[in-house]
Amino acid sequence: MPISEMQARVFYENLVGQRKIPGSEEMKKSIKEKRQAMEIRYVNSPRHTIQVDFISYMDELADLVGCKPDMKELFLSDPFLALQATSSAPYPTNYERYTYIAVALLTIFLLLFIF
């Protein structure tokens, strides 16, 4: 379910024009690379038809949407939040939470700096 939620978000962001998905050639190249990696990693049987590495795929989708947190920046700005990010499951709500918290922290910092 978390993957389909993030996929729906990618679809919606593209549909309303907030984000653009990669071009067809780039997608074909990515599909070919992923299929080759799956052939190496997974057993070739009828039971294993659709599989992805959950964390890397969620990161890829979050990158397409623009909500993937920059972990280096997060560790430097808020080590406690970064620790939570690395020790929790990569669910769509977590990607949103880290994005919104980072924006909120930046806003607070800017307001303090200005005033």
Q: Quote the domain boundaries for residue 102.
A: 69-115
Residues 6 and 52 in one domain: yes
User: pLDDT tens, 15-48?
Assistant: 888 888 888 999 999 989 988 888 888 777 777 6
Residues 36 and 54 in one domain: yes
19 and 13 Cβ atoms separated by less than 8 Å: yes
Residues 97 and 114 in one domain: yes
Could you give the number of structural domains in the chain? Answer: 2
Residues 2 and 55 in one domain: yes
Q: What does 13-73 look like in DSSP terms, one character per residue? A: HHHTTSS-PPPHHHHHHHHHHHHHHHHHHS--STT-SS---HHHHHHHHHHHHT----HHH
pLDDT for 20 equals 83
Residues 16 and 57 in one domain: yes
**What does DSSP assign to residue 1?**
-
Residues 38 and 24 in one domain: yes
The pTM assigned to this predicted structure is: 0.66
